[in-house]
């Protein structure tokens, strides 16, 4: 099949006007000018998207699909208070609710042009929803406890889940492990998680340096987050915590996690030059979540320093509990504007750079850039078609600027994963969007109560 559009954005090469992409057997076989490809493959069916952009599917480096039902239930609170409110509402949902919430999250992802996710989950609902939707990605089994005696039990349960999830969507979904955060994990848990990851070649993710409260707790021994978290969970109210005198990044460094070959640090907004050096020396990638960080007042990631130091960085949307939508266009647009406003380096941060951060660079952050992230021969056929013909978009001169500054999730007309169309013109190949929305509406009442 030849997919054609006014603009084709390989990302790894200059964009092509009046371009096309040849897809066969789930892979990309050719990319180039439409006239050339039609001449080379005269018998191939042509799908013409007209005034649109064809580009690699978005690679979302941080998601929590199972929290989609929490959208709008906790707004206008800073991070620590938001976290406590979300935790207080979690018991209202039963096992089926989490499954239905994750299903809606997977539907959201496909309709936004996301083809690859890096999801952190403790229930596994996200893994099952991603498999049902036909998404690609990594699903990290979250672990947390501040009580040393519980570490063996927590790790045993995690290992069992990881073994079970591996069979959900072979070839599309990988499984990893995610110690939650420095303020919720005993050092022994970091050590055991690192051992399991090394033994089974698991990718690792961790929420890291995500708020000032976290920073103050780790370094100085107390903060509102620490007090509220202990009171809310009751899980470590009797656990003593001594000030470490170091930042969260340097604290986690002590426990072996960063020695692993595939580690993703989520947020990393409360870091200094010394922390960035630690991340760089250990090849820790960063999930940059600008809207969530701004909405919850967490801080702003020093993106320019990350890039200049050579860190692997990709854009993440986080969960609708914190971010309301998983719109990668909003994420790119707001992320770019925040960075320009903070640094004044408008020439440094371009729309083209942010397209790359949402695709190829994000794939690099997950060490999947040999498979997805750009339109190149031999890579898997994960593509998205974005309409650029709306009144707020024409005339279109620069496709990168049109996508970042003038498009949104409603302009996505087709999402393809592994050569299969998973979403097109409001219809989903394997998901029942109407049922999912109906189920989530019922959950809304539970969360309000």
Q: What is the pLDDT of residue 229?
A: 63
**Residue 395 preceded by cis peptide, ω within 30:** yes
- Tokens 């320019």 — which residue? 304
Q: What is the pLDDT of residue 193?
A: 98
Q: What share of the chain is helix, strand, coil (3-state, %, to 5)?
A: 45, 20, 35
Residues whose CB falls within 8 Å of the CB of residue 317, separated by 6 or more in sequence, listed in order: 60, 62, 63, 114, 289, 291, 292, 323, 325, 326, 327, 328, 331
Residue 353 — φ and ψ, nearest 5°? -60, -40
How far apart CA 425 and CA 419 sit, in angstroms, is: 17
pLDDT digits (tens, 9 = 90+) for 190-245: 999 999 999 999 999 999 999 998 999 899 887 666 666 656 555 445 556 678 89
How far apart CA 21 and CA 152 sit, in angstroms, is: 50
Classify strands 204-208 and 263-267 as parallel, antiparallel or unpaired.
parallel
Q: What is the pLDDT of residue 448?
A: 82
Residues of the chain with pLDDT under 70: 223-241, 346-347
Are 211 and 292 a contacting pair, CB within 8 Å? Answer: no
How far apart CA 206 and CA 220 sit, in angstroms, is: 21
Are 103 and 69 a contacting pair, CB within 8 Å? Answer: no
Q: What is the pLDDT of residue 391?
A: 72
Where do the DSSP E strands lie in 370-446? 383-387, 412-417, 420-424, 427-428
Q: Is 61 buried (19+), middle (13-18) or exposed (0-12) by CB count in 10 A? A: buried
How far apart CA 83 and CA 203 sit, in angstroms, is: 25
Q: What is the pLDDT of residue 77?
A: 87
pTM: 0.96
pLDDT digits (tens, 9 = 90+) for 325-366: 999 999 999 999 999 998 887 667 999 999 999 999 999 999
Q: Which residue ranges form the domains of the chain, and what is each CATH number?
A: 2-56+379-427 (2.30.40.10), 58-365 (3.20.20.140)
Phi-psi map region of 56: left, alpha, beta (phi>0 left; psi -120 to 50 alpha): beta
How far apart CA 257 and CA 283 sit, in angstroms, is: 12
């Amino acid at each position: 099949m030849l997919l054609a559009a006014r603009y084709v954005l390989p990302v790894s090469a200059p964009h092509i006007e009046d371009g096309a992409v040849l897809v066969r057997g789930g892979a990309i076989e050719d990319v180039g000018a439409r006239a050339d490809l039609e001449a080379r493959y005269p018998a191939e069916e042509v799908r013409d998207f007209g005034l649109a952009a064809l580009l690699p599917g978005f690679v979302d480096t941080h998601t929590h699909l199972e929290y989609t039902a929490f959208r709008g239930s906790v707004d206008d609170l800073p991070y620590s208070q938001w976290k406590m409110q979300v935790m207080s509402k979690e018991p209202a949902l039963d096992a089926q609710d989490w499954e239905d919430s994750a299903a809606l999250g997977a539907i959201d992802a496909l309709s936004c042009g996301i083809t690859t996710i890096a999801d952190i989950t403790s229930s596994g609902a996200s893994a099952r929803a991603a498999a049902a939707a036909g998404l690609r990605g990594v699903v990290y089994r979250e672990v947390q406890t501040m009580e040393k005696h519980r570490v063996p039990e927590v790790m045993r349960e995690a290992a069992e889940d990881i073994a079970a999830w591996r069979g959900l969507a072979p070839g599309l979904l990988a499984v990893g492990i995610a110690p939650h955060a420095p303020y919720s994990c005993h050092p022994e848990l970091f050590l055991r998680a690192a051992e399991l990851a090394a033994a089974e070649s698991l990718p690792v993710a961790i929420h890291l340096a995500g708020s000032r409260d976290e920073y103050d707790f780790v370094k100085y021994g107390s903060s509102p987050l620490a007090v509220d978290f202990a009171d809310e969970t009751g899980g470590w109210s009797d656990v003593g915590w001594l000030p470490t005198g170091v930042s969260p990044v340097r604290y986690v460094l002590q426990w072996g996690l960063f020695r692993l070959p595939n580690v993703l640090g989520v947020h990393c907004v409360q870091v200094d030059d010394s922390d960035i050096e630690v991340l760089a020396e250990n090849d820790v990638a960063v999930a940059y979540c600008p809207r969530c960080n701004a909405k919850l007042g967490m801080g702003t990631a020093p993106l320019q320093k990350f890039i200049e130091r050579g860190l692997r960085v990709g854009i993440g949307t986080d969960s609708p509990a914190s971010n309301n939508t998983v719109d990668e266009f909003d994420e790119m647009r707001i992320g770019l504007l925040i960075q320009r406003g903070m640094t004044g380096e408008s020439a440094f941060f371009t729309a083209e750079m942010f397209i790359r951060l949402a695709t190829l660079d994000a794939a690099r952050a997950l060490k999947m850039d040999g498979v997805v992230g750009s339109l190149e021969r031999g890579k898997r056929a994960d593509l998205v078609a974005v309409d650029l013909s709306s009144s707020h978009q024409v005339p279109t001169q620069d496709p990168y600027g049109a996508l970042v500054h003038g498009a949104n999730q409603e302009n996505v007309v087709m999402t393809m994963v592994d050569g299969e169309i998973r979403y097109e013109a409001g219809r989903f190949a394997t998901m029942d969007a109407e049922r999912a929305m109906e189920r989530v509406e019922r959950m809304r009442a539970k969360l309000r109560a």
